Chain A
Amino acid sequence: MTSLSPSDEKQLADMVAAAAVGKQTFEIFAGGGKRGFGRPVAADHALDISGIAGIVDYEPAELILTARPGTPLARIEAELRGRGQMLAFEPPDWRGLLGGANAPTLGGVLACNISGPRRVRAGAARDFLLGFSAVNGRGEIFKAGGKVVKNVTGFDLSKLIVGSFGTLSILTEVTLKVMPRPETERTILLHALADEVAVGAMSAALNAPHEISGVAHLPEAAARRSSLSGVADGLGAVTALRIEGPAPSVAFRAEAIEAAFGRGAQLEGDDSAAFWRDVGEVRPLLADGERIVWRLCPTPSLAAKAVEAVRARLVAAEAFYDWGGGQVWLSLDPAEAGSDGGAAVVRDAMKACGGHSTLIVARKEVRSQVEVFEPAAPALTALAARVKSGFDPLGLFNPGRMREGR
């Protein structure tokens, strides 16, 4: 495997065009922290795009930021913070989860469509990409979308490129919608709810007009791992509701939530921020020793049922709930999960719960043997393969990352 590090879009396009001649393939990365996410890739070249970096344009009043994908996420966030803004989808840092030493980049977050706790209210990474430039598998530079917050000109390829794990095209410049950072935040904690009860409470909270921007449930074992004393030394399980906004509004809504759901401990300011950072980084599940980690996206109201069905067969399974049950993190004991990493049990449990499951953390041998991403119906699988070949006809980019052949 040779290593290539293009320093600009043009050089990258030439490299791809040259590779196309001999159908030579690329494993694409910037920070590299997500190379272990998805099926293992065997490629002819390691393509490091961290050199295609930098903020190109940032216009706070227009709510847009244009940057190159190799830019470290922390750099973008610092810039936004300086102007009282943020990436509303709250991209988490998954280094603790996936390993890897280098800081996460914007490109990696977009390629994997990774969103944090605020996703439940604000939308996912895919909802914030307004437009992009990229190099396709023909070595052509193309662009799609625009650099304004409202645009329906042409197909919305931005949605498609986010979450395509670098298998369609290589991003070279992206324009994101940015949002104001809320003035204050507060988290209300409800204690000792059983999972099923907590899922119902989270749904009720999201149905109330309190503009809740984070809603998670940590069963007792997960709560105990928290670095925050109010969470770890509480009374077992913790269900957390976050509200954000101007101070008078937050105070008013906190009161209304307590009136409806009962008085509990509250986390303010930095403590609240730390709690949600931990949730986004999946820290409540990161135990000592090797674990297998799955991410489930069931129909939210069925989240506790999905976990219960897994635990009926894998008793060492642990879980916690984000997005009001819309995202469940599941950690399995590798010995108990067996050679398929628990895939058969997890997918069986999810059958009655809608949605999809993804194997996030497992040894290479496991990830190369099982379907890491949810298996799809044949018509959809065939359509997705045609879509892939419309962008990357020779299959040069991240071969096999998502499925056999793509």
Chain B
Amino acid sequence: MIQMPEPDRSTLSRRDEIVAALRRIVPGEGVIDSERERRAFECDALTAYRQLPMVVVLPDNTQQVVEVLRYCKANNVKVVPRGAGTSLSGGALPLADGVLLGMGKFKRILEIDVANRCAVVQPGVTNLGVTHAVQAHGLYYAPDPSSQIACTIGGNVAENSGGVHCLKYGLTTNNVIGVEFVTMDGEVVRLGGKHFDAGDYDLLGVMVGSEGLLGVVTEVTVRVLPTAPGARALLIGFSGIEGAADCVAEIIGSGIIPGGMEMMDRLATEAAEAFVRAGYPLDAEAVLIVELDGCAAEVDHLIATIEKIAGDHGATSCRASQSEAERLLFWAGRKAAFPAVGRISPDYLCMDGTIPRKEIGRVLLRMKQLEAKYGLRVANVFHAGDGNLHPLILYDANKPGELQAAEDFGADILRLCVEVGGVLTGEHGVGVEKRDLMDAMFNETDLNQQQRLKCSFDESSLLNPGKVFPQLCRCAELGRMHVRAGQLRFPDLPRF
């Protein structure tokens, strides 16, 4: 288990005083201090980690956020921001000595600007809520994490959320064009807006995906896109993972970027089919779902091209959706894959590494070996287009040692992803879950440079400490400049 920083006794001893001060800022029910009600906030979707927050505050306007942060800064109190709490990496895990700052009351859609294809929303609006708000204009919001019915835009900004369509349409960072946020000092900063590009440093680019470490987002401007006139999907079965992987490589190599391209292994396919009866080929070792969107002329043309490629790579079955209902049925199994796996195992851990796609065969083989080593099974769901793996490690938390084994197994998988040239997380974030693996990917100099960015936003390290970085930021030390005088070793270069 990952250890969180030791709670600060002086903060805990001031709890009543802190609660009273927060009540002066956020009146009524906006401050929650009873243990029973705080319980609802003790974890996010990484449920293996739980911690009762010291107090929960639910502001409903930016000024209250400013005052809460100013108070916490002045009184050296830690703050953990939270959206809907659907993070899979523990990004919103509370701290025993921290204020949990819930943004759930920021629910308003502030503006829909059709002419500029954008919407200005508060961070507590759900991902799907944005699409619902703009769809009457023929528009939609592209990033579609699987939790989109519940997860909020504020959380999406913090985590740089992806989804099944991000190879073609990008992650959150490619679809957010402005934010307003409050710094730990209580300063309100606006970045971007309805226009293109930054007029100075692209700080919006680092706010997105900063996992609640840099500021508390209070408003978001998102780009919305015209809804595609149509879409069709292909359901393709393969007798081996390699054939499916080669097929994916050739689809992309031939110049096609599908709207979505998902792969499932046999175990995931069986679990999904048993759950939703989508008609998946149960004789296949790998199933590929490829979706094409656009005008009918383009979709039909590309479907024919991909059918040929699939045949060339030994597909054992290949069906193209003939109706919208059939397309949705193809997706139903994939979209239900996580809960379906939940039916065949008491618990599972969902991993999130990305690998170069060419390494898929090697990675899956190593995973088989690790299954034997840990005595645990893995179901693989894979955003095949962009190499983002979601191995689901099946375990039973009630069996002593299995959670630890599952975590160790997961860590081995992620180290393997890095070893073959990939990364620790493709879309779920580092949070608590992958924090102590950061040094598999980054050396101390790399991590120090990232932490210096943290220091320039939050020198006190009060905002979401214990997440992302294996060590707490030591801003004073990191700011010091050690000049390497007397160690210069290049005599043939000019001396200065």
Given the interface contacts A19-B496, A21-B485, A393-B479, does A156 sit within 8 Å of B199 by beta carbon?
A: no
Q: How close is A358's CB to chain B, nearest CB, in angstroms?
A: 7
Given the interface contacts A17-B488, A246-B298, does A390 sit within 8 Å of B453 by beta carbon?
A: yes
A-side interface residues toward B, CB under 8 Å? 2, 4, 11, 14-15, 17-22, 24, 44-45, 59-64, 84, 113, 115, 119-120, 123-124, 126-127, 136, 138-144, 146-160, 162-164, 168, 179-183, 200, 203, 206-211, 245-246, 248-249, 251-253, 256, 297-301, 323, 326-327, 354-358, 373-374, 376-377, 379-380, 383-384, 386-391, 393-394, 402-403
Question: Which B residues are in CB contact (< 8 Å) with A155?
Answer: 206, 209-210, 214, 450, 453-454
Question: Which B residues are in CB contact (< 8 Å) with A211?
Answer: 294
User: B228 in the interface, Cβ–Cβ < 8 Å?
Assistant: yes
| A-B contact sample (13 more), CB < 8 A, given A163-B202, A249-B298 | A11-B493, A142-B448, A146-B423, A152-B429, A154-B438, A157-B453, A159-B206, A206-B117, A248-B301, A355-B196, A379-B187, A383-B456, A387-B456
Residue from B434, B438, B455, B489 in contact with A14 in the complex, judged by beta carbons closer than 8 Å: B489
Given the interface contacts A142-B445, A323-B196, does A180 sit within 8 Å of B252 by beta carbon?
A: yes
User: B464 in the interface, Cβ–Cβ < 8 Å?
Assistant: no
Question: Which B residues are in CB contact (< 8 Å) with A148?
Answer: 354-356, 386-387, 421-423, 426
CB–CB A354/B193 < 8 A: yes
User: B173 in the interface, Cβ–Cβ < 8 Å?
Assistant: yes
Question: Which B residues are in CB contact (< 8 Å) with A19?
Answer: 496
A150 to B162, alpha carbons, bound, how many Å?
Answer: 9
Question: Which B residues are in CB contact (< 8 Å) with A127?
Answer: 170, 173-174
CB–CB A377/B190 < 8 A: yes
User: B110 in the interface, Cβ–Cβ < 8 Å?
Assistant: no
CB–CB A299/B195 < 8 A: yes
User: Which of B138, B191, B206 lies at the interface centre, i.e. has the most chain A CB atoms within 10 A of its CB?
Assistant: B206
Q: How close is B39's CB to chain A, nearest CB, in angstroms?
A: 30
CB–CB A151/B138 < 8 A: no
User: B269 in the interface, Cβ–Cβ < 8 Å?
Assistant: no
A326 to B196, alpha carbons, bound, how many Å?
Answer: 6
Q: How close is A7's CB to chain B, nearest CB, in angstroms?
A: 10
Q: How close is A204's CB to chain B, nearest CB, in angstroms?
A: 9
CB–CB B115/A203 < 8 A: yes
25 A-B residue pairs with Cβ-Cβ distance under 8 Å, sorted by A, are A11-B490, A20-B483, A45-B496, A62-B357, A84-B255, A127-B173, A136-B449, A150-B166, A150-B386, A150-B427, A153-B423, A153-B425, A153-B430, A154-B441, A155-B454, A157-B450, A160-B202, A203-B116, A207-B226, A297-B199, A301-B115, A354-B193, A374-B200, A383-B187, A390-B455
User: B457 in the interface, Cβ–Cβ < 8 Å?
Assistant: yes
User: B2 in the interface, Cβ–Cβ < 8 Å?
Assistant: no
CB–CB A252/B116 < 8 A: no
A300 to B252, alpha carbons, bound, how many Å?
Answer: 33
Given the interface contacts A155-B453, A299-B194, does A59 sit within 8 Å of B294 by beta carbon?
A: no
Question: Which A residues are in CB contact (< 8 Å) with B448?
Answer: 142
Residue from A4, A15, A60, A156 in contact with B205 in the complex, judged by beta carbons closer than 8 Å: A156
Question: Which B residues are in CB contact (< 8 Å) with A124?
Answer: 196-197
CB–CB B423/A156 < 8 A: no
Question: Which A residues are in CB contact (< 8 Å) with B205?
Answer: 126, 156, 158-160, 162
A217 to B166, alpha carbons, bound, how many Å?
Answer: 30
Question: Which B residues are in CB contact (< 8 Å) with A301?
Answer: 113, 115-116
CB–CB A4/B493 < 8 A: yes
CB–CB A300/B116 < 8 A: yes
A200 to B166, alpha carbons, bound, how many Å?
Answer: 29
The number of residue pairs between A and B whose CB atoms lie closer than 8 Å in the complex comes to 317
User: Which of A60, A119, A149 lies at the interface centre, i.e. has the most chain B CB atoms within 10 A of its CB?
Assistant: A149
Interface of chain B, main secondary structure = loop
The 7 tightest CB contacts between A and B, nearest first, are A159-B205, A356-B199, A249-B298, A355-B195, A180-B255, A390-B452, A252-B297
Closest to B355 in A: A148
Q: How close is B461's CB to chain A, nearest CB, in angstroms?
A: 14
A45 to B496, alpha carbons, bound, how many Å?
Answer: 10
Question: Which A residues are in CB contact (< 8 Å) with B426?
Answer: 148, 150-152
Closest to A209 in B: B226
Q: How close is B61's CB to chain A, nearest CB, in angstroms?
A: 19
Given the interface contacts A146-B422, A253-B295, A383-B457, does A163 sit within 8 Å of B201 by beta carbon?
A: yes
Q: Which of B378-436 contact A (CB under 8 A)?
A: 383, 386-388, 421-430, 434
Closest to B428 in A: A152
User: Which of B257, B295, B354, B490 lies at the interface centre, i.e. has the most chain A CB atoms within 10 A of its CB?
Assistant: B295
Would you give the 0/1 interface string for B111-133, flagging 1 where the beta carbon is closer than 8 Å to chain A? 00111110000000000000000
Closest to B296 in A: A252
CB–CB A183/B209 < 8 A: no
Q: How close is B65's CB to chain A, nearest CB, in angstroms?
A: 15
User: B28 in the interface, Cβ–Cβ < 8 Å?
Assistant: no
User: Which of A153, A156, A390 lies at the interface centre, i.e. has the most chain B CB atoms within 10 A of its CB?
Assistant: A153
